[in-house]
Each structure stands twice: as structure tokens, then as C-alpha cells.
A and B are shown apart, each in its own frame.
Chain A
């Protein structure tokens, strides 16, 4: 006896396959950018428009450069399934070495920068060795590193501070590009030009990318959505340049940051190394069984983190104008928070450079907005903690909804 159930009565055409997955991933990326926009607008209103005064916008970059640099290194560490708790201490130690190298050994500013990056690399190699080749969890290795490098900083500075650093050095953290193109109505023309150039480059790049996709007949985002998204981004960039041009022009560190974002975005998305990082975070065993040299990848991830921590040390020492033993306190937590606000997963395998940078900016805007409102430090900390928690909770909620469970 065969019964055909009523459900299969009419032959229907095969289900229409829509290309949703791609879009839902983008939604997550938009989510964090939207959150940044909301926070900016919120504080702009709360501070009666003071948040986006040119001086504050400038400070937002110069004050937060260290978090953004650390977050770029940290997102790679976290995607691979590790964590680095030592970066704050490394920032302090590198700052001390940089100051000593200039004031005691008489190195020029660029010599100090090179020494700083090398010290960072050495620290990274040290920690990478223990994590990758000995197999001690990064949490432990870098917790130890946090103590070791803080201790060494105290030894180097013998409890005091070193100030009076050369002006070329402090310019890295607190200086601007010279006004090569002069001024127009009190605004720095170079900054405006750079802003417009970046916006144009963005659009051209997107269009070229689209053209390639079309040529290869690959799925594309709808034109309307692409234009809205990039249109808004281009306008935001130009507006940002407009504000900066009214202050002191383009912060030097902004150029450094832009270069880092471009480079690391490329590394994670386009290179074999970046792919291996994601593969290891996604399933370490499967990565090993696919021939990924996981030990070396881990080692390089930490060396890279060390170099970036060294750079962050240079930047924050330059900005502060001197080295103090207490520098870099809690920087690791800021960087880790930025990465998670930016959509990385605690289990590893997920995260982006752009997300981490936007996450860092969210933290930065919060800091700045709350300071302008003269909210006291205790409450600032509390609020930042809550924002971190909510951001990640929102992300998980979103994912669950998208996953249909």
C-alpha cells in the first residue's frame, strides 16, 4: 500500500535560491558602523555640539591611536584563538627603551623608532616561542609577560620618568603634516586634498572591484546599496577632513594608521598567511590536517603583535612627551574590548581589521564624550564596561536571529 500524502499534491517549481548569506554578514559589519554613528550623534547632542569641534576630532585620533594600533594586532591574535594580556606592559617598556635610547645613548629619533620596533619584535618572539613551540596557552604566557615587562620597565626607569624628548620624536604622536599646499580661508589645503583623494580612491576602488566581479560573473551587492554605503562613507571622509583642516591639519599618526589599516586588511583578506590565521581559529585540527604550519603561524602572529605594541609604545610615548613607568596601564583591555566590540568571536575564527578599528573608535568616542561631559573616571569605566557587554550581547542576538535558532 502506498499513500501519497496531500502535502505533495501540486508539482511546484524548485525553491528560489536567494543570495542572503553574503548580505547577513555585511549587516553585522554595518551594525558596528551604525553603532558608532549612533554614539557619535548621541554625544554630539549631549555635549551641545562640542564633541565634533575640530580640536576634539583631532584629539580623538591622536589620543586613541595607540588603541587602534594595538587592536589591529590584537584582532589577529584573537582570530587565531589566542589573547595577549601583555601589550600594555610592552608599551611601557618600549617607551622606556625609546626614551633611554635618545636621552642616554644619543640616538636620533628614527634610531629610537627602529630600536623600539626591534624590542617589540623581540618581545613578540619570546612570547611566540612559548605559545607556539612549547605549547603554553597564550593567556598564561602573556599574563606572565604582563608582569615581566612591567617589572623590566620599572627597572629601566628606576622608578622615575624620562622627559625632554626631541621634537621630531614627539611629532609622531602629537604632530601634523606641514601645510605644504598653504591655507584657504584658514583651512589646510593639504588635508582637504587628502580627504577628497581618499574619498575618490574609495569609490574608484569599489567600482573597479565591481567591474571585476561582473566580468567574472560573480555575485554582487545591489548597485543601490553599494552607492548608498560608499556615498555615505565618502561624504564622512570629506567631512572629517574638513574638520581637521580647520584645526592643525592632518595628524601624522593618521597617515600611519591609514597605512596600517590598508596593509593589515589586505594581509587578513588576501594573503595565504591571513587565510591560515582564520583557518586555525576556525578549526585548529582541520588546519593542521590541511598542511598549515600552525606553529610558525602562531609564532609570527605574536612577533607581529610585538612589533605593533612597539609602535604603540612609540606613539603613546611621543604623545605623552616622555616615558613613565605607569604608561600603558590597561591598554590591553582597551584593545581587547575594541576587537570584541568590532565583532570578533571569543572562540576565534571570526573578526576583521575594520571591525576592530571601528570598535576602537567607539571606545574613543565614549571616552571623549564622557570627558567633555565631565563624567568622573569611575563612571566612565562603568559605562565602558556596560557598552562592551551590550555590544557583544547585541552581536550574539543578531547572529542567533540570522542563524534561525
Chain B
């Protein structure tokens, strides 16, 4: 039983209106192992897992699936869950107004004749939370939890379904290092309990640390299956399989040409929109110069995104105070419209909620923040709009048949590139990028760093918010650390190390 194969997917082909997302992928997963899946954005990883879990029902794809030595034909996600296959999607799917316990047992309630047994529900939920190491009251509402904790609730939910094969699609994309480490530890722990796990990730370090075997997918085909205890278990090897060539540097070279001060923020204070007494950003003062890339490092909830959003047209918070100077002159940005007029752009970390019109195509999304540039007397020049969108599709290497493709159907990483395109096209002087490479594959990351460099070279002031410290250190000229709403440190590139940053990021914490 030890080394038996739990899952075999043979020659899976899946196409969407003639566009092949999967083109003969095969996959073998050994029982009790952690199996990593790597591949570029749009390679077909998420689609493969949706095929496996019955999101795409049998008949909508070609090829066969064997689970525990039986050929299976799932018509829905319920069928696969019945067999013990549980998928946690790239985008979390918890109901924000329900409690942890209610979410865990949603669709699977502890009920007799339709009446829920709350004692049992809460008791069992507490046990499951203990298993995933989440110290929260089961009655807490989901919306009060950060992404990291929500992820754990998803896993608790999976455990409640007696999971045999747990599928995690980019579980750590939105997590900071601490939460990621906890999650990986949990996966290790589940492995000792005999639960098989498939994990998709663009963070190759994690894959290297956790996976026993890795399958690499490119353009909808299986490229290689790598034994992670063997000689090929290197990041470089995985990257080569993913992108089809060697990638020697993680960061493109750059000659910073730093000019005059563009942005100066003084004493920026923002209060929580509901809990008005609480300061989310507390007296932050900083500057960004032309041609400079400035990073903001902080733990989850430190107030980085809140700082950025409150600057950008007061999109977050109440009782906002402080001064903003652009090119030495004090400015007011009370609405997003004003912020854009003042030459600001903010590419959000939450693309589904704030970034994209998911039912619109690539064209309308790319032009959304800068229609004025494409319009005369309120009438849009649609040919030019198309050309612009298409040029970004090529430049950013957005994987889609055409710019007429609906953004909701793009892979996660390609959606991210659409968000970036939109704000780059708006032609800002100050560009705030919040987690710009979240969910982006290694090759594309390099391209995006190149684009950031190019923007800086054009004399723009660029702010990068990121949870990945190596990324900040790799691309920024200067990094501010933020902890509990206060700026706690400023580090020049030369002095930046993960340790120093971590020191400032946790300053003031016990």
C-alpha cells in the first residue's frame, strides 16, 4: 500500500471553444505524497485540477481518470468529494457573513431532519481548527479573518469531508512568509497522516521544500515528472522545464537614474472605516523620487495596502489626515478621479474585487482607467483602443487568443498582467504596485521586473508593495518597513537584507 498510485490522469484534453487548454496531459500521483504541479501562467494547471474534481464534468473533456484503481466519471464536485477528493481553489470560496463553523459544514450540516445541532457543529469545528492549528473561536465570522486564516478554514473544511486527496491551487500566493510557513508545516503534518496532496505554486522554493514529486506542464502538455529526492530536484531544472530555456537571473540588470523628488507624504494618518478609533496608518511620512523604485515591506495587516489605497483618492478609511506633495506642491486627492488626474495609479492586490471587470474583455479592461486618452468629445476611438490593448497583450505576453477574450476566463497570472497593463497605459507619474507579481510565474516575473525598470527609467516614481522580501530587495532602490501602521525603518538597497527588514517589520510588536 505504501507506494501505490492513488491517482492516474491519462491523456486529458480539454478545449474551450476550440482553444486547447489541456492537450494530452498525463499525471500520476503516489499515495501519501505531496505532488507539486508547476507551469507558466495559462499552462493549464488550474484547468487540470478542475477536470479532476468534476468542476468540468465528465464528457466535457477527453481522456480518463483513475482514482484508487477505479476509473471514475465525476459529474460534479459533489461526486469527487464523495470519493475524498477536495479542491481548494485559487480564489477562496468562503461565505464572508457566516461563521467559521458554518462555513466548515456548509452543505454538509450536522442536522437531524433539517434542524442543525449547533453544539455538535461547534464542537467538531473546534476539533478541526485544532487540527489545522488555527486558534479562533468557531463562531467568528469569516470576514474578520485574514487570508492566511481563511486558507486554514478551507483546509479544516476539507478535513471535515474525510479528504484523501487534497488539492491546493496556489495556496500561498496571498500569504506572507509566516503564514506560508505555517501552511507548509500543516501539509507536512497531513502527509504523516496519510493524506495525499497536490499543490500548485509559482513559489519554487516552497515546492522544493514540500514536494516529493513535481510534474511540469507547459502549453497544456506534460513536460516532465521530477523526483524531488533525485539529482534533478533543483529550481533551475524546474524553471527550464517550465519555460523551455534557462533563466540565469531572477532580476534584470538596471542602472538607476534617480532624479528630483516627485512624491512627498507627511504625517499620513488613516482610521479604520468601521472601528473609527483605530489608526490603521499612523503618521506615515515618506518620499519617492523620479526614476526611483521604492518598496514597502510589512507583515500581513501592517497597513501597506491601506496606506496605498487611502492615498489613492481616499479609497480606504475615514478621518484621513496628512499632506501629500507632488513635485513640491501640495495636492488633494479626495476621489480616484482626482488621483488619476494628478498622475497616480494604483494596481490593486485584489484583482477580482478591485481590479477587473471580469465579464468584460481584455480591451475594455486595459482602457478602463484612461478612456479619456482614447476619446474625443466623449466618443471612444475603438480602433485605437483595440490597437493599444493588443500592443499590451504582446508586450506583457498575456496568454489569450485575442484581446476580445473575456478576462474572467483567463488564468490567474494573465489576469494580473491585464491589471498591470491597465495602469501602465494610464501613463502615471506615480505608480503604486500592490503585490504586482502575485500568482505570476518565474519567467513572467522577470518580464514584469523589466517593465518596472523601464517605467523607472522613464522617470516615473514607482512604489512596490510586496510580501516577498527577496523581490523587494532585488528590484527596489530603497525600502520602507511598516509595522502596525507606523513606518519603522528605511533601508537603502545596499543595506537591505531579509534580516534587517524583518527586524523593522516586527518592530513594536511583542
Contact = CB atoms under 8 A, between A and B. Distances in A.
A349 B401 contact: no
A218 B17 contact: no
Interface string B326-360: 00000000011101100000101000011111111
A7 B24 contact: yes
Interface residues of B, number: 66
B380 A275 contact: yes
A279 interface: yes
Contacts of A288: 315, 336
Nearest to A3: B225
Interface string A1-28: 1111111100010110111111010000
Interface stretch (B126-134, B365-373, B439-447, B502-510): B365-373
B357 A291 contact: no
Contact of A21 (B25, B221, B383, B402): B402
A159 interface: no
B378 A271 contact: yes
A92 B26 CA distance: 66
Contact of A1 (B25, B230, B336, B401): B230
A19 B364 CA distance: 18
B206 interface: no
A301 to B, nearest CB: 15
B357 A287 contact: yes
A15 B23 contact: yes
Contacts of B16: 403-404
A12 B348 CA distance: 38
B406 interface: yes
Interface in A175-222: 212-213, 216, 218-219
Interface in B351-397: 353-361, 364, 367-369, 371-372, 375, 378-380, 382-383, 386-387
Given A219-B402, A291-B336, A286 B356 contact: yes
Contact of B360 (A18, A20, A282): A282
A291 B369 contact: yes
Contacts of B383: 212-213, 216, 218
Of residues A17, A219, A276, A291, which shows the largest number of chain B Cβ atoms within 10 Å of its Cβ?
Answer: A291
A17 B380 CA distance: 28
Contacts of B227: 1-2
Contacts of B368: 275, 279, 286-287, 290, 292
B246 to A, nearest CB: 16
Interface in A237-289: 270-273, 275-276, 278-279, 282-283, 285-289
Contact of A282 (B25, B340, B359, B386): B359
A229 interface: no
Contact of A291 (B15, B23, B56, B337): B337
B364 A8 contact: no
B224 A4 contact: yes
A397 B18 CA distance: 19
A219 to B, nearest CB: 7
B253 interface: no
A272 B380 contact: yes
A98 interface: no
A405 B56 contact: yes
Contacts of B355: 286, 289
A345 B346 CA distance: 30
Contacts of A286: 353-357, 368
A347 to B, nearest CB: 8
Contacts of B360: 278-279, 282, 349
Given A5-B225, A21-B405, A270-B380, A289 B230 contact: no
B356 A271 contact: no
B382 A219 contact: no
A358 interface: no
A397 to B, nearest CB: 15
A173 B221 CA distance: 64
B315 A290 contact: no
Interface residues of A, number: 49
A263 to B, nearest CB: 12
Contact of A293 (B18, B220, B337): B337
Contacts of A350: 359
A235 interface: no
A293 B335 contact: yes
Of residues A7, A275, A290, A402, which shows the largest number of chain B Cβ atoms within 10 Å of its Cβ?
Answer: A290
Nearest to B406: A21
Given A219-B404, A290-B368, A18 B19 contact: yes
Contacts of A292: 337, 368
A43 B339 CA distance: 58
A101 B340 CA distance: 48
Nearest to B377: A271
Interface string B22-54: 011110000000000000000000000000000
B292 interface: no
A289 B354 contact: yes
Interface string A332-366: 00000000000001000110000000000000000
A2 B224 contact: yes
Contacts of B25: 7
Given A5-B225, A7-B26, A285-B353, A20 B378 contact: no
A275 B357 CA distance: 11
Contacts of B486: none
B375 A272 contact: yes
A405 B59 CA distance: 10
A405 B359 contact: no
Nearest to B50: A405
Nearest to A4: B224
Of residues A1, A7, A20, which shows the largest number of chain B Cβ atoms within 10 Å of its Cβ?
Answer: A7
B56 to A, nearest CB: 6
Interface in B247-273: none
Contacts of A22: 402, 404
B222 interface: yes
B401 A17 contact: yes
B356 A283 contact: yes
B392 to A, nearest CB: 15
B60 interface: yes
B18 A20 contact: yes
Given A24-B17, A272-B375, A279-B364, A5 B337 contact: no
A109 to B, nearest CB: 32
B402 A19 contact: yes
- The list of the 7 closest CB pairs from A to B, nearest first, reads A282-B357, A20-B17, A290-B369, A7-B26, A291-B340, A290-B368, A291-B336
26 contacts: A1-B227, A1-B230, A2-B232, A7-B25, A8-B24, A8-B223, A15-B19, A19-B402, A20-B17, A21-B406, A22-B404, A24-B17, A219-B402, A270-B380, A272-B371, A272-B379, A282-B359, A286-B356, A288-B315, A289-B315, A289-B336, A291-B336, A291-B337, A291-B339, A350-B359, A404-B15
Interface of A: 1-8, 12, 14-15, 17-22, 24, 212-213, 216, 218-219, 270-273, 275-276, 278-279, 282-283, 285-293, 345, 349-350, 402-405
Given A12-B23, A286-B357, 8 more contacts: A4-B223, A4-B225, A7-B24, A19-B404, A219-B402, A286-B356, A289-B355, A405-B55
